[in-house]
Structure 1
Amino acid sequence: MALSREVFDQDAATFDAAAFRWTRQLLGPRQQWVEAVTFFASRNFITVAACLLINWFLLVRKHRWNSLLVPVVALGSITLNLALKQFYQRPRPLLPLVSASGLSFPSGHAMISASFYGLLIYLAYTYIRRASWRWLLIGGLVLLIALIGLTRVYLRVHYATDVLAGFTAGLVWLIVAIPLLKQLEIRARKPLKIQAQSTEKQPE
C-alpha cells in the first residue's frame, strides 16, 4: 500500500503536521464533545454495541447469519488492526492531549469505526424501507465515522496517515467479510432446501 510505504519512508511528515494544524483550526479549543465522539469507536463501546446488535438479530429479527456477520466484522477488524500495528511498529505522536497506549499505525479507532459503522450502513441500506429514514441514518453514520477520524488527529493520538490507513483497512475488511458470509449462507441453505423438497415429494 502506497500509504504504508510513505510512513516507512517518513515522506508523510509534512502532511501529518499540516493535518494537526488543520484539525486544531477546524475544531477550535479542546471541548468535551471531542472525547465523547472518539469514545464511540472504543473497544468497550463497540463490544457492547456489537452484543446488543447480535441479540437483536437473534431474538427480534431471527436472522442467524446477520448475527454471525456482526462478530466476524467487529472481531476481525480488531484482530487485523493489532496484526498491522505489530507489523508496522509506528510510535504514536508526541505530546498527545489524552493518554493513549500501544502503537499508532493504522488507527484502531478509525479502522473499527469504518468496519462496524460501515456494517450498520450496509444493514440500514438493506433493511430500512423508508427512504427518508434510511438516508438520514446513513448520513449520520458517515458523519460519525468522519468525526471519529478527525478527533483522533485533533487529540494527537494518531497521525492523519494512521487514520486514512485505518479507514482503508476497515472498509477493505468489510468488503471482504460481507460477500464471504453471504456465500457461506447460500451454501449452507442449499442442502436444507434440497432436503425439504425431497421430503415434500415422498409419498404418504
Structure 2
Amino acid sequence: MAQMDLSPEKKKVADKVVILSKELIILVIVFTISLFSFLFIAYRVFYLDNTGADEKAFAIAHSLVSSNTTKIMEFITFFGSHYFMIPANVLLCIYFLVKKRGRYSIKVSAIALSSVLIMFGLKLLFNRHRPLIPLLAPAKGLSFPSGHAFMSVCFYGLLMMIIWKEEKAHPVLKWTLLVLVIALLLSIGFSRIYLRVHYFTDVLAGYCIGSTWLFLSSYIIDRIQPAGLKKIQVS
C-alpha cells in the first residue's frame, strides 16, 4: 500500500499530536508514581508506624552539624518559605502579564493558591506533630507533609516546566538552569531535616504530593483555559 503524502499543515498537526501523546504518557507515569509513593509513605508512617528512615536521616544530618553549615541551611530554607514564595509567585505572575503570556500567569496563580489549600488540608488530615527537638527555634504548625517541600515543588517545578518549553533558550543554558533549580529544590528539603523541623518522610511526602498536584493541575489548566489566552504569545 502506497504511503500517503501529507500536506505541510497536516504534517504539522500530526507532529503536535505525537508530541502531545508523549507529554501525556510522561504526565501519567509521573502522576502515578508520585501519588502511589505518597500513599505508600503515609501507609508506612501512620499505619505501620515505621519511622526508621526518619531516625537514620536525622543521624546523618546530625553528623554534619556545625555553625557554618547551620547558617547555610538557614539561608537555603528561606527559599522554600512563604516569606519568599508569596512575593516570588506574585512577581512571576506580573512578569508573564507584562510579557503578554496570560496562560502562564493564570497557571502560576492557580497552582500557587490551590497548592496552599491542599497543603493545609493534608496537614489537618494527618495531624502529625513536628520533631520534638529542633536544632534552632521550633517551627509552627503541623509536620506532614512538609509545606516547604510541597510549595517548592509546585513553584520550582513549574519554573522548570516553563524553562523546558522555552524554545528560544540555548540548550546549555536551559540544562544549566534546570540543574541549578533541581539542586536548590533538593537542598531546601534537606535543610528542613537538618534543622530538625521536619522528618525525612515529611519532606519526601511533600515532594511526592507536590509533584502529583503540579502535573495534574498543570494539565487541567492547559485543557480548560480560555481559548483566547492561547493566542496571547510573544513570538
Q: TM-score, normalised by structure 2?
A: 0.76
2:62 and 2:155 map into 1 onto residues whose CA distance is: 27
Instruction: Determine the structure 1 residue equivalent to 2:198.
Output: 158
Question: Any residues of structure 2 matched to 1:28-47 within 5 Å, and which?
Answer: 28-30=65-67, 31-47=70-86
Query: Deviation of residue 10 (structure 1)?
Result: 5.2
Question: Any residues of structure 2 matched to 1:136-175 within 5 Å, and which?
Answer: 136-175=176-215
Question: Any residues of structure 2 matched to 1:110-189 within 5 Å, and which?
Answer: 110-127=149-166, 129-185=169-225, 188-189=226-227
The percentage of counterpart residues that share the same residue type is 37
- Is 1:71 the counterpart of 2:109? The answer is yes
- Do the aligned residues in 2 keep the contact of 1:12 with 1:161 (CA within 8 Å)? no
2:54 and 2:174 map into 1 onto residues whose CA distance is: 35
2:213 and 2:110 map into 1 onto residues whose CA distance is: 10
Counterpart pick for 1:96 among 109, 131, 134 = 134
1:122-152 superposed Cα distances (whole Å, 9 cap, x missing partner): 0111115211111111000100110011010
- Is 1:19 the counterpart of 2:57? The answer is yes
Q: Which has the higher contact order (CA 8 A, sep 6+)?
A: 2
1:180-200 superposed Cα distances (whole Å, 9 cap, x missing partner): 111123xx327x99xxxxxxx
Query: Deviation of residue 28 (structure 1)?
Result: 3.5
2:48 and 2:65 map into 1 onto residues whose CA distance is: 28
Instruction: Determine the structure 1 residue equivalent to 2:97.
Output: 58
| CA RMSD between the two structures | 1.8
1:7-47 superposed Cα distances (whole Å, 9 cap, x missing partner): 1135332110000011233x441421111100101112101
2:110 and 2:193 map into 1 onto residues whose CA distance is: 28
Q: Which consecutive unaligned segments of at least 5 residues does structure 2 have?
A: 1-38
- Structure 1 runs of 4+ aligned residues shifted over 3 Å read none
Query: Deviation of residue 163 (structure 1)?
Result: 0.4
